[in-house]
Amino acid sequence: MAKLNILFSFVAILLISSAIPAFCKSNHHEKHPSPPQEEDEHDKYINSLPKDLLNFVENCTKKFPLKCGDKVINAINEKGNVDKKCCHDLVKMGLKCHKALIKVYIGLPEVKDKIDPKVVKHNANKVFKKCVALDKKKHHHSSLSPPILP
């Protein structure tokens, strides 16, 4: 079950792995090409996803902290809770992004045989709704506070 914490790590790995070849432009590779490597299941899955989905996920998660991603995944898998700060970040990230990440997560080879997609989707919606309520409550209380005057 520890592998279930990889969703947001996956996004970071995806970004890094796609950026590395761009930085490695040297003549060494032209003179000494490396042998072709077989894609593993994870890479095959990622490469099979629509590019527009990957671009959307990459862009919508840019400001979402990795530690919050772990907390959200743990909450979805009923192994923890999401704190106020991470709830705020999740709500700020948006429902569309959250659903896209869950869609990608459900298909990951590392987790797809270990989860029930219906349960994950249900729990993901529940977590998002709780965070919306918590975030509204937080902003409601802060709006009731008197302004600090100089």
pLDDT single digits (tens) 94-110 = 999 999 999 999 999 99
Alpha helices (runs of H) in the chain, residue ranges in sequence order: 7-23, 28-31, 41-48, 51-60, 66-76, 84-93, 95-107, 117-144
Is residue 138 in some structural domain? Answer: yes
Residue 58, domain extent: 41-142
Q: Whole-angstrom Cα distance, residue 11 to residue 101?
A: 9
- Measured CA angle at 45 (ends 39, 49), to 5 deg: 125
Q: How confident is the model at residue 149 (pLDDT cuts 50, 70, 90)?
A: very low
pLDDT in tens, 40-73: 898 999 999 999 999 999 999 999 999 999 999 9
Is residue 64 assigned to a domain? yes
pTM score, whole prediction: 0.68
What pLDDT score was predicted for residue 31?
55
- Residue at 101 is within a domain: yes
Whether 34 is covered by a domain: the verdict is: no
The structural domain count of the chain equals 1
Is residue 104 in a domain? Answer: yes
Does 118 map to a domain?
yes
In a domain, 18, yes or no: no
Position 122 in a domain = yes
Spatial contact of 61 and 97, defined as CB atoms under 8 Å apart:
yes
